[in-house]
Amino acid sequence: MQMTTPIRKHKNSGPIGKWASLAASLAMPLSGMVPATSPGNRSRVDLAGMWQRYVHDKLWEIIPVPSSQHPLGFYCLRREFLLPALKGNERAIVHFDAITYFTRVSVNGEELGTMGPYLPYEFDFTAHVREGKNQIDVAISDLQPDATGAGKDEIALGVNPDWEAHGGIIRDVYVESGLGLLSTTCAWRTSLLAAIQRLRARGRCSSRLQPGARGTLRWCCANGRRKSRGWRKIFRFQVG
């Protein structure tokens, strides 16, 4: 399926901006490509290409992804992609190599989670897959927090007078589907209590391994090369 939409002139200078304007004027397809084969019983859909950028729920322009954009504030990047019907224990995962600075990811209208800057993230959206056309939305805060106030710390990390700031999906993004897929996202929340006398940590960790695989999680506090305290836990990975 191809979509042709009114296009605003791309404001980025240089060859990327020129290429984006030219590609948009040729009405490049926004739907997913035929999945490429990945190792094992998996398929991959590369989501690099032209994405629609919405500001206040209105189509603003079409831009290339991945790319580094001038910070705009708060907006949404959207595109469609195709997936076959999942069978049995097959799963679907969307992978981001990096974004800036804070985002919320949704597939087919269901929010999957949030991302911070510069690090890879993965989200399992098996429960929300549709056979055929699917839609991914990435709500990006690169200059101001979103409506809930989330993203303030992440933006403060990147928008700094000492260097040029940039926003958007800045690295590769793709979808994988098939057997033996588990999300690799690890999320940790820590808090220092009583002048660093106590450290409280909560985490969620998973890995791209077969269900039932055995793993070891290690954690420690360190000051340079000096380790003060740590622990180790052996566990088995589970789906979900």
What is the DSSP secondary-structure string of the chain? Answer: -------PPP---HHHHHHHHHHHHTT---SPPPPEEETTTEEEEE--EEEEEEETTEEEEEEEES--B---SEEEEEEEEEEPPP-TT-EEEEEES-EESEEEEEETTEEEEEE-SSS-EEEE-GGG--SEEEEEEEEEESSS--TTSTTHHHHHHH--TTS---BEE-S-EEEEEESS------EEEEEEETTTTEEEEEEE---SS-TT-EEEEEEEEEETTEEEEEEEEEEE----
CATH number of 29-48+73-178: 2.60.120.260
Domain ranges of the chain: 29-48+73-178, 187-236
Q: What is the pLDDT of residue 42?
A: 77
User: Does the predicted TM-score (pTM) go above 0.85?
Assistant: no
For residue 164, what pLDDT is reported? Answer: 86
pLDDT in tens, the chain (240 residues): 333 333 333 344 333 333 333 233 323 343 343 344 445 577 999 999 999 999 999 999 999 999 999 999 999 999 999 999 999 889 999 999 999 999 999 999 999 999 999 999 999 999 999 999 999 999 999 999 999 999 999 999 888 887 888 899 999 999 999 886 655 555 544 444 444 455 555 555 544 455 566 666 666 666 556 666 666 666 665 554
pLDDT, residue 32, reads: 40
